[in-house]
Amino acid sequence: MDIFNLIKQECRRRGLSERTIETYCFCTDKFLKWIKKEPKQVTKQDIKNFMTYIMEKGRSGSTLNVYVNALKFMIEEVLSKRILINLKYSKVPKTLPVFLTKEEVRKLVSSIKNAKHKLMVELMYSAGLRVSELINLKVEDLDLNSRIGWVRNGKGRKDRLFVVADSLLKILGNYLILNNIGEGYLFLGRNNSHIHQRSLQNIVKMAAKKAGIKKKVHCHTLRHSFATHLVENGYDVATVQSLLGHSSSRTTMVYIHMASPKLVNVKSPLDSL
């Protein structure tokens, strides 16, 4: 039995993301190598013993829950065994995500000398794109005349519209002409495929270091910065939620707490006494 192929098939049938598929296969592989049993021979006690082993290695509650979900999917959804796995672990309390100030974004972008690299980072920040969304962008996803673009099959398998910054319209147009790109992926890597996610992550990290930014900066930091700056510029939660592609406004509300009180016109109740 090729359990990994079965997991992939069932995940894709349910429309789960490739990242989820990769995670489920990774967790299942770790478990089967540890338990040294065929998948159909696995018991509920085997899973409990494995989870105790993982917990004793100091893994976070979030990581433990990912393992439980992966193993539960393999046992209950792929193998159709009903052994009622109901294990839950305490998650690490959520902290506010790191974001850059507008000045820090300017410094980061200015530190990038390669034109293509700079364009990728500017587009990712200006539209609040996830790194996976940026690298999968295709020429046909852009409508520069209307100043918009489309994320296709984003998180949750959803399409959403994004706004192309006015300052990038001419730059994008020239980029397409100079590189003779008429269709397919917007940012090519090797073998005519899109640029690799890790390459973009390295570009952002090196730019932050060169710009002298002391914060821990990742590609997703630019998305957090985009959302926070929209709130600071006076846009409402519903608008920001739509541009980020969040299913719930509760997810978007975190950016209200991150934005500068002065810029979002919040006054202390002391002032009304």
Active-site option among 155, 160, 210, 218? 155
Residue 163: its H or E element: strand 160-163
d(CA 75, CA 92): 27
Q: Is 196 a catalytic residue?
A: no
For residues 138 and 182, give the distance between their C-alpha atoms in angstroms, rounded to a whole number. 10
- Of 32, 199, 223, the closest CA to residue 127 belongs to 223
Task: For residue 73, give the nearest of 163, 11, 116 by alpha carbon.
Answer: 11
59 a catalytic residue: no
List the catalytic residue out of 30, 44, 220, 235.
220
Q: Are 34 and 56 in contact (CB under 8 A)?
A: no
β partners of residue 138:
185
Element (H, E) at 103: helix 102-110
- Indicate if 155 belongs to the active site: yes
Is 130 annotated in the active site? yes
Catalytic residue among 8, 117, 118, 223: 223
Start-to-end Cα distance in the chain: 72
- Is 89 among the catalytic positions? no
Query: Of 117, 130, 194, 224, which residue is the catalytic one?
Result: 130
Active site residue 224: no
Phi then psi for residue 153, to 5 deg, are 55, 50
Q: Which residues are annotated as catalytic?
A: 130, 155, 220, 223, 246, 255
